[in-house]
Chains A and B, each alone.
Chain A
Amino acid sequence: MKNDGFFKLAVIVGVISWMAIFAFVPNVLVFLASFSSTSSANFIEPGFSLNNYARLMDTTHLDILLSSLRLSGLVTVICLVTAYPFAAILARTRKPLRNTLLLLVVIPFWTNSLVRTYAMTAMLNSSGIVNNVLLFLGVIDSPLAMMYTPGAVVLGLVYTLLPFMILPLYAALERLDRRYLEAARDLGASPWRAFWKVVVPLTMPGIVSGCMLVFLPGIGMFYVSDVLGGAKAMLLGNFIRDQFLTTRDWPLGAAASVTLTVLMGLMLLLYWKSAARLGRKEA
């Protein structure tokens, strides 16, 4: 009993201090840095100004932000639309086959996603597999320029992030009691209406967490944009990385980081608010 208590304490203290040192403190530092200024001598001159945030409101920066949100939104929609049917089928498949399919979803995680992104270039470049196959089949006459386009970035992001959509959706759909669906059909709902009135609302937690897990990383995954999209900074992640590593404007990068974090926080808040309002309306 006593040992048990010690173990519990050790785990809790361990996790809390880990989070404090590697998550909370760095975030506080970034937050503080976003109000500082920079000079040729130091990356960061302590102080308080909102200058960095004002600089972010500049149209070029806003464009990056908006295009980044758009791109990530598109990726999220594509992931949701492709993952939902797959997860639904997965949830209904019988045990041995289902485990195999789940394994196939998880296998890509075993390889570093940067390596996998480079592997995508072998598929997409002008002498890549896709072009070769299309040329061989006579579908095209000359190689398509697929690399270094927004399309390639979207494809790369979808490829990397799809499992993060599938897994929470699968969990939600697998837990969904089939009797709810039967009850809806029994009460006169067509399969389509039963899906919208019963299945979607009941799997909403899975849909939301899947979208969060895809949309939020999608904004920041700068290396996918780097490798497949070329030098153009298409994601907010690229912009932030550039401020820290290339332009060496740490305060601006920090301000962009904080903005992104606040944006994500606002979105979560919005979801909770709307969910709560929905609940109140019904309650």
Chain B
Amino acid sequence: MSFSSRSCIETMPISGKLSLTQHSIFSKKKGLLGSVAMSAPRLNYLSGGVMTDSVAQSQALPVVQLRNVAKSYDGQHALTDVSLDVQRGEFLTILGPSGCGKTTILRLVAGFESATAGVISIDGKIVTELPPERRNVNTVFQSYALFPHMNVFDNVAFGLRMKKRPAAEIAIEVRETLRLVQLEGFEARMVGKLSGGQQQRVAIARAIINRPLVLLLDEPLSALDYRLRKQMQLDLKHLQRKLGITFVLVTHDQEEAFSMSDRVVVMNNGHIEQIGTPVSVYEEPRNLYVARFVGEINIINAEVVELGEGRARVRAQGLDVFMRTSHAFHPGEKVHILLRPEDLRVETLKDLAEDPELEDVFSRDRSLVGTVEETIYKGATYDVVVRLDAGGIVTATEFFNEDDETVYFKASDRVAVSWVEGWEVVLPYEK
């Protein structure tokens, strides 16, 4: 599988960064120590083969293309120079904090706003000047925007009626679409009488009945409670696979983005910071912003000592450590070392001294010594907060032992923190 997906990615238009990140995923083998790291996003990757297949089928033409698109409102920049290709059949998520311009992208594609600069094309045709009703995309609105004066049937039938399809045909299609979203028998209900989750599904049915090329979803799950949201995430993903429609989802929820998408677009302040699979965005963040926005991260400042083939010797915390990097650093340059909490391993100095076997598997030459500040219970895992002797604080996530459900570390324990070479990300220094 790794071979085929690699070869297809190399033929993609944006192959540059993506193939690089893909390579490193496959090269990045995680052994016994990596058990914690096999959490949601990685599991998702294993089941996410659909993306690479569907991309391979249609490498010819992205279904939506944004080229140097900018949008400003009264001189305020909402988007600056955004270029993005949405591949046919993929589930793409635009992720970012509120006000980063992610909804603006969706509204530009839908046609509710017109771009200040740049070109948008759908299915190869430039749509920059086309009104929403003449674009083959449909939107699921954040607050659903179901027509309150109509019942479920009329809401779902609206699009087909606008196309002047025969009534009998409409009736059949509405019934089928409602079955798809598990709302059979709800035809005659007024939409105001439905629960949030049901309204959500009517909104989805109303959009997909038109068989759009792209379904645009504007934070569609944000109004639902946690449990329902989880369920709808799964349902949406299954629906997308079943229909084969391209989904573009906007969200500020990193977990949602990772668990649903084939690719994630991380946005910040009106521009794109990184595009990639959930795994590549999580494992190989391109800068500190992305690293911080998707999940917890430890950042250690360091200085490059010397450079080798894909490797660098770096001085961090008074320690010389080898790291893998493809960046072209020069000796003396300041860098950041990024480590996910679940990639860190913590052992007490006492255990290391007593158990020579442990010392063998523990990467001694890269261990940072410090004192446990506190431990935070998280249910399935717990966090160990370590104050390093050389300054700075790192957080490591630990699993409970199968036979021991107690938190192993105590405050003021003397510990060493280490990780496997290659699990770190080295980034140029940012202020």
Contact = CB atoms under 8 A, between A and B. Distances in A.
A201 B149 contact: yes
> Which residue among B131, B154, B159 has the maximum number of chain A CB atoms within 10 Å of its CB?
B159
A202 B148 contact: yes
A171 B131 CA distance: 28
Interface in A142-188: 177, 179-180, 182-188
B133 A182 contact: no
Contacts of A188: 133, 159, 162-163, 210
Nearest to B137: A186
B139 interface: yes
B210 A282 contact: no
A202 B146 CA distance: 12
A260 B189 CA distance: 39
Nearest to A177: B145
A197 B150 CA distance: 10
> Which residue among B110, B143, B147 has the maximum number of chain A CB atoms within 10 Å of its CB?
B147
A130 interface: no
A42 B49 CA distance: 98
Interface string A177-209: 101101111111111010001100110000000
Contact of A189 (B138, B141, B162, B190): B162
Contacts of B154: 282
Nearest to B164: A188
Contacts of B162: 187-189, 193
Nearest to A197: B158
B145 A189 contact: no
B151 A187 contact: no
Contacts of B159: 187-188
B111 to A, nearest CB: 8
Nearest to B112: A182
Contact of A183 (B141, B163, B210): B141
A182 B163 CA distance: 17
Contacts of B137: 186
B191 to A, nearest CB: 10
A185 B143 CA distance: 16
Interface in B189-216: 189-190, 206-207, 210
Contacts of A197: 158
B128 to A, nearest CB: 16
A41 interface: no
Interface string B141-177: 1010111111100100011001100000000000000
Nearest to B154: A282
B1 interface: no
Interface string A79-121: 0000000000000000000000000000000000000000000
B188 interface: yes
B428 interface: no
Contact of A179 (B132, B138, B145, B188): B145
Contacts of B151: 282-283
Contacts of B206: 187
A185 B131 contact: yes
A152 to B, nearest CB: 40
A184 B158 contact: yes
A189 B143 CA distance: 20
20 contacts: A179-B145, A180-B147, A182-B132, A183-B141, A184-B158, A185-B111, A185-B112, A186-B137, A186-B207, A187-B133, A187-B138, A187-B158, A187-B159, A189-B162, A190-B133, A282-B149, A282-B151, A283-B188, A283-B189, A283-B190
Interface of A: 177, 179-180, 182-191, 193, 197-198, 201-202, 282-283
Which 4 A-B pairs have CB atoms at the shortest separation, nearest pair first? A188-B162, A187-B159, A179-B145, A185-B132
Interface of B: 110-112, 131-133, 137-139, 141, 143, 145-151, 154, 158-159, 162-163, 188-190, 206-207, 210
Given A180-B147, A183-B147, A185-B131, 7 more contacts: A177-B145, A183-B141, A185-B132, A186-B112, A187-B210, A202-B148, A282-B149
